[in-house]
Structure 1
């Protein structure tokens, strides 16, 4: 049985990552939906937003995108990175300022992106298509030691491009006997539980900031509520969940205490994504 442990550390995340990826599977939160996953000597980064590009973009808008806390590190401080995954084209998941710096520093680094976001990715990262690994829902790929299962996500809707490709994706990531599911930005939709359960994750990384009509009418798509995320994990027989996508922008978040209080009553092992914590998956 795979067990999830939380290991606090006092040093800056940059110092922790400077040691390089070790054995086993460990996760570190980067804020919003971003994570570093160190798995058996390889480092995968998913949805890193480590700049202030959105604060600049929305400087004069009604909803400020100033960070509630500083980024935990800079793109250069991520150290060796073997693969980057982006779940969709929104800038807090596919941030050009973060990804272009990684691409320049690591010329062999490839980026997994939705096929529907190909043009966004090339423009923002400053790459030609040769360094993109384009995927769509239903794809299965082996990339190095990663077994990637690509699933649908509904960031308000199950949106497709003109070619029928899904704009929003979730990723099932298999590392040997450890299986992690990152939903991307999503809300509930028909068939979701069956799709995830077939992958049989040990751990779910799920957004919990929810949604509102006021934000929707202002152009900001919503996500799972905390209660919906817990219910989804239970329906999919996922033993452990890390709640994320909070604490970045004041207009679109959830109180940390609400997550912590829910963890005491949840029928699953529920953790709040936090800085200064290594989430370690152990077991056979």
Structure 2
């Protein structure tokens, strides 16, 4: 991991913001900051690593140094992959802010067993909370519901439904469509839904280095299928910017969504952009 390409302007912008409702900043990859109008700040899957070149090559800037984040109430992790649970990206935030880390069991195993966050950083065991599907917890002004995610590449993925007086946000991690999303769409009124999107590309095999046709994220049709089932008012596609060979054009989703009732709108953002509920 290298230092921020942007200095500290993004953490300062988040800290200074006083949203009327809820503000959401895109950190690139599948990372987000969510800040409510009473100041509660959540981070979801923040990642500032460079991947593992030449297999995974980061295509976007590193927008902040973790040490520059001085205010955070919680980090939510969706699953155990490196670009979602990563000690150098997340443990310094826990160390600096005292935030709580919410994650499913296999994600916590990365923090405790694989990367040993409590030994490398000044992070305590009581900052970790295990979550699973069906759980609900409160973080300041937010109520967070843990729901399923359909990601065959992960061992225990979850999605999060984040409720606030001003509206509701869904973050699906790297989920693909699921029959269960119809029930989730009926259960919640989701104002802004975040789903991973990307192309099918050729990625080097870890052992041999040979190029292998690889699919990690939803395609155009799959992401709209999932957003339709979940009944999103707005769909915000993520992850399409991150890895060499897996990038995609989110503006193409306008045509794919045109004949569906949901999502009613698309929010196409770039790294560093802010949207509000």
Alignment TM-score, normalising by the size of structure 1 = 0.79
Matched pairs, number: 253
Q: Which residue of 2 aligns with 1:240?
A: 234
Q: Which residue of 2 aligns with 1:75?
A: 66
Q: Distance in 2 between matches of 1:66 and 1:274?
A: 18
- Does 1 or 2 have the higher relative contact order (CA < 8 Å, sep 6+)? 1
- In the TM superposition, what is the alpha-carbon distance from 1:218 to its structure 2 partner? 5.8
Are the equivalent residues in 2 in contact too, given 1:148–1:174 (CA < 8 A)?
A: yes
Q: Which residue of 1 aligns with 2:24?
A: 27
Q: Distance in 1 between matches of 2:85 and 2:215?
A: 16
Output one character per residue of 1:3-56: Cα deviation in whole Å (capped at 9) or x when no partner. xxxxxxxx942342241554420111101100011112111110000133x2xx
Structure 2 residue 163 is the aligned partner of structure 1 residue 174: yes
Q: Distance in 2 between matches of 1:94 and 1:243?
A: 20
Compared with structure 1, are the counterparts of its residues 37 and 219 closer, same or farther at alpha carbon in structure 2 (3 Å cutoff)?
Answer: farther
- In the TM superposition, what is the alpha-carbon distance from 1:210 to its structure 2 partner? 4.9
- Cα RMSD (Å): 2.7
Structure 2 residue 46 is the aligned partner of structure 1 residue 48: yes
Q: Structure 1 unaligned runs (5+)?
A: 1-10, 160-166
Compared with structure 1, are the counterparts of its residues 261 and 220 closer, same or farther at alpha carbon in structure 2 (3 Å cutoff)?
Answer: closer
Q: Structure 2 unaligned runs (5+)?
A: 1-7, 206-210, 259-263
Are the equivalent residues in 2 in contact too, given 1:47–1:86 (CA < 8 A)?
A: yes
Q: Distance in 2 between matches of 1:16 and 1:153?
A: 31
- Residue in structure 2 matching 1:209, options 198, 205, 211: 198
Compared with structure 1, are the counterparts of its residues 66 and 222 closer, same or farther at alpha carbon in structure 2 (3 Å cutoff)?
Answer: closer
Structure 2 residue 100 is the aligned partner of structure 1 residue 103: no
Q: Distance in 2 between matches of 1:213 and 1:191?
A: 30
Structure 2 residue 146 is the aligned partner of structure 1 residue 156: no
Q: Distance in 2 between matches of 1:139 and 1:98?
A: 25
Q: Distance in 1 between matches of 2:40 and 2:276?
A: 15
SS at match of 1:71: coil
